[in-house]
Amino acid sequence: MSDHIENEGKKGKFLMWFFIYFTLFIILLIYVYRYNFHLEF
């Protein structure tokens, strides 16, 4: 049972980085959308 302790936290770190990158990606999409919405050709 003690051999499972080494792998603890890998899923948590993966989820943390996944949500950080996902949030930054959504913010980037909103920024690009708003920037393109105000362009006039």
**H helices present in the chain, as ranges:** 10-37
The pLDDT assigned to 19 comes to 97
Any long-range contacts for 35-38 (C-beta under 8 Å, 24+ apart)?
Answer: none
pLDDT, one tens digit per residue, over 1-41 is 555 566 667 888 999 999 999 999 999 999 988 887 776 65
pLDDT of residue 2: 52
On whether residue 2 sits in a domain, the answer given is: no
| Residue 29 covered by a domain | yes
CA distance 27 to 39: 19
Quote the pTM value: 0.60
Total domains present in the chain: 1
Instruction: Look up the domain containing 19 and give its range.
Output: 11-41
On whether residue 35 sits in a domain, the answer given is yes
Three-state DSSP class for 8?
coil
